[in-house]
Amino acid sequence: MKPRILLVDDEPNVLSALRRQLREQYEVDVQSDPAQALKRIDKANPYAAAVSDYRMPGMNGIEFLNELKTLSPDTTRLMLTGYADLDNAIRAVNDGNVFRFLTKPCERDDLLRNVADAVRQYELVTARRVLLEKTLKGSVDLLSELTAMVNPHAGERINRVRRYVRYFAERKGVKDMWRYDIAAMLCQLGTLILPPGTLETLEGGGELSPEQVQMWEMHPVIAQSLVTRLPRLGAIADMIAYQLKGFDGSGTPRDNVREDAIPLGGRILRVALDYDLARQREDNPQKAFLSMEDNIEAYDPELMYYLEGMLGVEARYAIRTVTLRELQPGMVLHEDVVSRQGALLVRKSLELTKDKIDRMHMFADKVGIPETFTVLVPETAR
């Protein structure tokens, strides 16, 4: 598939000439109006490179390429200028918004060489980001799986809490949802240091020993120290560190941070995790919510408002028994899925996605699994 190139110039003859020179090697789009060109930007299918004239009515080349950078940051940007515009072109390069500038008239070989360099730059940037994202995702998935393997209760808790965290983050309108999802996936990593049975005692409403309390208060910091070692996860590590911190300044870490100074992810985790504990102790969402009101100062008031609004949504889940073919994304496993030999394959409380359903079909073909499953289904999907 040919790389996609965008050419913007208000002179039709220039556009036609540039297109003829590039169309053999690239998929070329042309636009004489920079404002209209911006409307054609597709984030799901970005251009590898864009070449823009400098002098255009309504919006000059620097303004256009700056807007393009916001809409499609990976697209390599080149400017086409007349000699009278060289000072402006140099300023554009020095500002860091333009990869190269070309002068009119532009020789064919120069054009091809510079556009080829721009496409290579785009490929390097995107390949590096994809590699980093795949490495990061693999590391996060591995740590989450290890947590679930060593401490199954923690694994089940992660699956439940991720849904709550996503709900709160959506209500807050966060733009970097992936950070909050990863924070939920890794927030229980530090529980691996806890003595056996600690989480079960908490979920049952029992009292922890002084030693257990001390280790419980340490587990977010343990997780923080591990997560900090992964690239780009410093802010996520801070969210995890504050998961036991009260909005009123109570809890751990014992510092002077309180209220909105607490990272939003930490405030969300505190409400989500405490609500999850309450749900393990109470038989319905409303009772769980009311039990949290005894310590209402510990929670972000806005998040508690969103939590109260979530109760009706959660209450509309129904328990159903379905076959493998009837599984749909959004359903939540209500029990573990085990092979015919008794091996645990998929843990309960997991929200199903297409990939996870495909994996269950694979398990059915390879090792055999039950014919039916107990799941939680949103009433709207019934």
Residue 313, pLDDT > 60, answer: no
Please report where in the chains the tokens 């996503």 appear, as a residue: 166
In percent, how much of the chain has pLDDT > 70? 92
- Please tell me the distance from the alpha carbon of residue 349 to that of residue 326, in angstroms, as a whole number: 18
Can you name the CATH fold of 151-315? Hypothetical protein af1432 (1.10.3210)
What per-residue confidence (pLDDT) applies to 287? 86
Q: Give start-end residues of each CATH 3.40.50.2300 domain in the chain.
A: 4-127
pLDDT in tens, 24-72: 889 888 988 888 889 888 877 889 999 998 888 888 888 888 888 888 8
pLDDT in tens, 234-270: 899 999 999 999 999 999 999 999 999 999 999 999 9
What per-residue confidence (pLDDT) applies to 341? 81
- Please tell me the distance from the alpha carbon of residue 304 to that of residue 267, in angstroms, as a whole number: 10
pLDDT in tens, 183-220: 998 898 888 888 888 888 888 888 888 888 888 999 99
Q: Give start-end residues of each CATH 1.10.3210.10 domain in the chain.
A: 151-315
Residue 316, pLDDT > 70, answer: no
What per-residue confidence (pLDDT) applies to 283? 77
Query: How much is the mean pLDDT over the chain?
Result: 84
What per-residue confidence (pLDDT) applies to 81? 80
Continuous H helices in 228-371: 234-241, 264-281, 285-292, 301-315, 354-366
Pairing of strands 76-81, 100-103: parallel
With contact defined as beta carbons under 8 Å apart, do 336 and 347 qualify? Answer: yes
CATH superfamily of 4-127: Response regulator (3.40.50.2300)
Higher pLDDT, 319 or 29: 29
- Radius of gyration for the chain, computed over Cα atoms and rounded to the nearest angstrom: 27
Continuous H helices in 194-300: 198-203, 210-227, 234-241, 264-281, 285-292
Q: Give start-end residues of each CATH 3.90.105 domain in the chain.
A: 317-382
pLDDT-derived band at 85, boundaries 50, 70, 90: low
Q: Give the architecture (CATH level 2) of 317-382.
A: Alpha-Beta Complex (3.90)
Q: Give every CB contact of residue 300 below 8 A, 6+ residues apart in sequence.
A: 247, 267, 268, 270, 271
What per-residue confidence (pLDDT) applies to 260? 92
As a whole number, mean pLDDT of residues 296-308 equals 90
Residue 382, pLDDT > 50, answer: no
What per-residue confidence (pLDDT) applies to 381? 45
What per-residue confidence (pLDDT) applies to 273? 94
pLDDT in tens, 94-109: 665 788 888 887 888 8
Higher pLDDT, 348 or 195: 195
